[in-house]
């Protein structure tokens, strides 16, 4: 079987089109889909790292920083950073889509002090069991 240049180009173009349509049809799932409004509203100061990880999973990054430099008493904090990626609907393209949670290292285990949520997902619809 021999192919002409036109035949090879047609196969190549069809391959590109097929790849494009398949990639559009299979959008990646949202990153950290656990960051729903309901779960975020369950956050409260004093939660342990284990309690937070049970809701949101492991963060991509952790770091330690000193807070309160302009106050009388400084404290060390453990920062959990969740990279949320691009919004699944293409919204908020100019927003830094990271959610950060800061824990005080003054406690063992560390306790949640404050958080900054840049991207939250809608809660999934509730499933109603219908009796028949």
SS3 30: coil
pLDDT recorded at residue 29: 60
pLDDT recorded at residue 130: 54
In the chain, which residues have pLDDT < 70?
A: 1-30, 86-96, 127-132
- Count of beta carbons in the 10 Å neighbourhood of residue 72: 5
- Count of beta carbons in the 10 Å neighbourhood of residue 125: 6
Count helices and strands in the chain by DSSP H and E runs:
3, 4
The domains of the chain, with CATH numbers, are 37-116 (3.30.1450)
């Amino acid at each position: 079987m021999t192919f002409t240049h036109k035949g090879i180009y047609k196969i190549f173009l069809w391959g590109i089109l097929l790849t494009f349509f398949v990639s559009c049809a299979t959008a990646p799932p949202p990153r950290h889909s656990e960051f729903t409004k309901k779960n975020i509203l369950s956050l409260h100061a004093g939660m342990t790292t284990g309690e937070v990880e049970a809701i949101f999973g492991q963060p991509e990054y952790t770091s330690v920083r000193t807070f309160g430099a302009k106050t009388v008493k400084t404290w060390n904090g453990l920062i959990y950073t969740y990279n949320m990626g691009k919004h699944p609907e293409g919204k908020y393209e100019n927003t830094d889509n990271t959610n950060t949670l800061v824990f005080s290292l003054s406690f063992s285990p560390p306790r949640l002090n404050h958080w900054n949520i840049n991207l939250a997902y809608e809660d999934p619809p509730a499933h109603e069991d219908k009796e028949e």
